[in-house]
Amino acid sequence: MRNYSKAYVLGDLRRFSGWSEFAAAEEREYADEDIVYLADDLVVLADPIREEGMLFDQITAEWREFCAVVLGFAIPDDLTYLRPGADDASAPAESRASEEPQHG
């Protein structure tokens, strides 16, 4: 299950030099103006709620860099600690502070 996704205009994602779109489950053609969703695992979906219509899943170092640098994609800080496998260091400071023993 994906925990976070952000909407983008498909034409912006297609600017990636390694973009190779495969037919989505419903076999529909997508226009540059269509809204699609970049998920936290960097897969591109037409519908992140039902996790349908996968358009792109070639997760390479170049794609990661494109998402971060060109698109500015990042999981918001207040959500990163909710991801599976996140350690305590990634939790917000106020959450960690409440877990620390009080000296006094």
Q: What is the pLDDT of residue 23?
A: 61
Q: What is the pLDDT of residue 89?
A: 43
pLDDT at 99 over 80: no
Kindly report the average pLDDT of the chain as a whole number: 78
Q: What would you measure as the largest C-alpha separation in the chain, in angstroms?
A: 65
Q: What is the pTM of this model?
A: 0.71
Round to whole Å and give the CA distance between 48 and 102.
Answer: 42
| Pairing, β 35-39 against β 44-47 | antiparallel
pLDDT at 39 over 60: yes
Round to whole Å and give the CA distance between 57 and 33.
Answer: 20
Band (69; pLDDT cuts 50, 70, 90):
very high
Round to whole Å and give the CA distance between 41 and 56.
Answer: 11
Q: In this structure, which amino acid lies at residue 5?
A: S
